[in-house]
Structure 1
């Protein structure tokens, strides 16, 4: 098995995945006169030990390559100057953007690892964190993704990983917030469409009893399931949806009152109602009003803890003073 054969197989199978539209998306966000190719990789970007996407030399590049442990797949910054990229300055703002994405939502990177290569060799494989300044040096290679034994290579897993990372790539590479989501190729073209066909909830039954007590994802999942059950019993299952997309982002739970009237629920696992509201309010305001049109008639922050008197007064003030239709709901 060679990098060339792996890259060619990924090109062939990518037609069934969002990553198969990478070059179309690049044409749009880069303002290219024409699409350079329909493939992720081509002969110019495939090496004996690694490959990166066509056009990726000056970008956050989708990358595959051999490591001692097996095959890596994910995305990378290559800080090695070349004839096509003699000046690395173009990459530094993109590293800053990626660091902002990691800081803003570290959960998106929870299933990935990061490491880097320098003239001293390879670093340890670590959890993903913002790229530190001391490794942003000429000649270094910085990678975020997964690694599997060559005996465990699964092309669909690789392509699913690329799909998962594609939205982050677009956030880093695009200067236009209007085109950084994938709605044009994988989701409804409208900014928000109610859809309760598939909930895609985390499998809470797989969590251990300890994880249920200390794992943020587990707590979020249990609250989400209980909220859905409660709303479904009151309004019917067809009126409740989970993980609905809006502008490329996902709302935890949506309640449909009628075709033009929805309530958005955002779940937080902070240790007080006040903290939950602090964490959720920005998201809910963006979901509901970013298009300068009311997408939801009410926005609701959901947490485990009951609301205290001072926080209740705060919400009342927001409603009266700024006409923000916000509420808090506790789910034990």
Structure 2
């Protein structure tokens, strides 16, 4: 990436967002939904579907169309510490327009308060970002501060010529358009949370922003360091419609249902998502009417509830009970390893746990801030509290309850905390339920242990020995089917004599597939995983060894083969490897029955 100016950078971001299906590409549609079609844009400007609009560009920066007085998606090109860099992320202008009208300033105060609340509740989501202040000098020039770790915006800055920026600064040579768009997608939750919760009638007590009496300089500096991060206080949780003080589990669940719908959370569409993942075949009880809620009244127990239809799925789960003698809310996702009414089979649950382990291995950062524990049959005492890890085979006993999430005092959390955690776990739910196949519901025994490439078959048949586990057998069969399907496809394209299956290298290794054409070679490494990231992780090291170990002949292309299509993040990852290290890496998917 090496844009000549801010206009070129913004235009290419608009194009890439649409081409690669980033959520931020629908920002104008999202703005209409959040603001009930009242965007408040200038009447002399035509509507646009772009993130950025030409008329909103300055010499070196741009903000999203309509974002002048919103929490704005922001771009800037300028020198930082003597180097030309791109700043990208979000910004809040603390002085809206050029007016002293208090009614105009109220939404700014509201945005700042909502920003501070969200940051305190979800601090781990901003661990890789920096925060800075852009301050207008008397001559009109805006001077950026150095980067600080994300923190609460001091209230006494409201009305000052200050812009607060949350994001990153990078040299163009080490930055890709996918880096910028990925961050924009991640910050959309913050944007929706703030802009959706604006209410014109809200008043703001200035005391809620007052600094300590001895604080002379509200801006962080080397002499005025930021305080250490702390847990959310009750003051921060006093958001309209967000207080959490449920009398019972039903009140808690209904509050989550309501807040999900009004807060724009992805999990609010859970029932639609379930229909998509299961091809409209939802195994709910036939005597119950369909619902659009996450939780249904008929599913409530005395102190817990799981999502409608979630008895035998990875279930979004809520509980209100005593843990270690203290009333707490338990919220997250759970497996109940048990046969009973509405349960499919223990084998299907083992398959779900296997997919859970696979996803966790490929995406460990997706579970930051959460805990994993289990409760044996007949016990309500959480055991094995730990950071999220793979569920081991030896814990799979009928009646065991596995949970990933949090347990918190109601006074320390909000409905937004619960729903943000549910949204965080939604990709895990989709991955598990989407990848279940008829084989996962058979009576054949399975294993939750992850497959290892050393156990993959290198024979031309699908025969196995009795000593090997059913899971290893299943993985080997899938690997070999994928390899053979791809070999036939390549043979039809390049000729049978130019495609070699399991070709040995001079170092005693075996390459899954090699194509020879016009004196050039292409190496293929097959990985039978549903998660592309795991395929890339397992295959790239092998391909590099085949290609570059001492005395090896360098191939023209190195291709990772997986079961699923590569997503935008995977494409960005491969693009980075190719640009920075000149590696001829590619990815290809092969679907097998």
State the TM-score bracket (shorter-chain normalisation): 0.5 to 0.7
Q: Aligned residue pairs: how many?
A: 246
| Counterparts in 2 of 1:223 and 1:141: CA distance versus 1, 3 Å | closer
1:122 Cα shift?
Answer: 2.3
CA contact (8 A) 2:69 2:96 kept: no
1:30 maps to 2:30: no
Cα offset for 1:33?
A: 6.0
Distance 2:60 2:100 in 1: 20
- Structure 1 CA distance for aligned equivalents of residues 74 and 158 of structure 2: 18
**Does the CA contact (< 8 Å) of 1:76 and 1:142 recur in 2?**
yes
Of 39, 54, 57, which residue of structure 1 is paired with 2:50? 39
Q: Does 1:67 align with 2:74?
A: no
Question: Distance between the aligned counterparts of 1:41 and 1:187, measured in 2?
Answer: 34
Aligned match of 1:223? 387
> In structure 1, what is the equivalent of residue 17 of structure 2?
14
Q: Give the Å deviation of 1:130.
A: 0.8
After superposition, the Cα gap between the structure-2 partners of 1:286 and 1:61, relative to the gap in structure 1 and judged at 3 Å, is closer
Q: 1:75-104, CA deviations, whole angstroms, 9 ceiling, x for partnerless residues?
A: 001234436997433211011001000111
What is aligned with 1:180? 264
Distance 2:47 2:260 in 1: 23
Cα 1:155/1:85, change in 2 over 3 Å: farther
**Could you tell me how far apart the structure 2 residues matched to 1:49 and 1:161 are?**
20
Whether 1:104 aligns to 2:121 is yes
Change (3 A) 1:266 1:219: closer
For the pair 1:159 / 2:171, whether they are aligned, the reply is no
| Structure 1 runs not aligned, ≥5 long | 207-215, 236-256, 269-275, 291-332
Task: List aligned pairs for 1:71-150, cutoff 5 A.
Answer: 71-82=86-97, 87-120=104-137, 121-150=143-172
More helix by share: 1
Match of 1:170, SS? helix
User: In the alignment, is the contact (CA less than 8 A) between 1:50 and 1:63 conserved in 2?
Assistant: yes
Change in Cα spacing, 1:11 to 1:217, as seen in structure 2 (3 Å) is same
Looking at structure 2, the residues matched to 76 and 281 of structure 1 have their Cα atoms a distance apart, in angstroms, of 28
User: CA 1:73–1:182 in 2, change beyond 3 Å: closer, same or farther?
Assistant: farther
Post-superposition shift, 1:118? 1.2
Mapped partners of 2:186, 2:70: distance in 1 = 17
CA distance in 2, matches of 1:103, 1:37: 34
Higher Cα Rg: structure 1 or 2?
A: 2
Q: CA deviation at 1:30?
A: 0.5
Q: Does the 8 A contact of 1:170 with 1:180 survive in 2?
A: yes
What's the offset of the Cα at 1:202? 7.0
CA 27–44 in structure 1, closer or farther in 2 if over 3 Å, else same: same
Q: Where do residues 175-324 of structure 1 align in structure 2 (5 Å cutoff)?
A: 175=197, 177-178=260-261, 179-182=263-266, 189=273, 191=294, 194=313, 200-201=359-360, 223-226=387-390, 228-230=391-393, 233-234=396-397, 265-267=403-405, 278=409, 286=418
| CA shift for structure 1 position 181 | 2.0
Q: Tell me if the contact between 1:41 and 1:51 (Cα under 8 Å) persists in the aligned partners.
A: yes
Task: Pick closer, same or farther for the CA change 1:25–1:278 going to 2, 3 Å.
Answer: same
Q: Secondary structure of the equivalent of 2:153?
A: coil
Cα 1:42–1:104 change in 2 (3 A) is same
1:113–1:146: 8 Å Cα contact kept in structure 2?
yes
Deviations 1:209-265 (A, max 9, x none): xxxxxxx86987963114x23588447xxxxxxxxxxxxxxxxxxxxx9xxxx9672
**CA distance in 2: counterparts of 1:231 and 1:39, whole angstroms:** 53
Distance 1:46 1:267, change over 3 A: same
**Could you say which residue in structure 2 is the equivalent of 1:316?**
none
2:260 and 2:268 in contact (8 A); partners too:
no
TM-score by length of 2: 0.36
| Change in CA separation of 1:186 and 1:80 when aligned onto 2, cut-off 3 Å | farther
Once the two structures are TM-superposed, the CA of residue 153 in structure 1 deviates from its matched residue by 2.5
For the residues of structure 2 that align with 1:21 and 1:187, how far apart are their CA atoms?
22
- Distance in 2 of aligned mates of 1:188 and 1:90: 34
Segment drifting more, 157-166 vs 59-68: 59-68
Would the aligned equivalents of 1:204 and 1:222 in 2 still touch at CA under 8 Å?
no
Deviation at 1:60, TM superposition (A): 0.4
**1:278 offset after TM fit, Å?**
3.9
Partner of 2:200: none
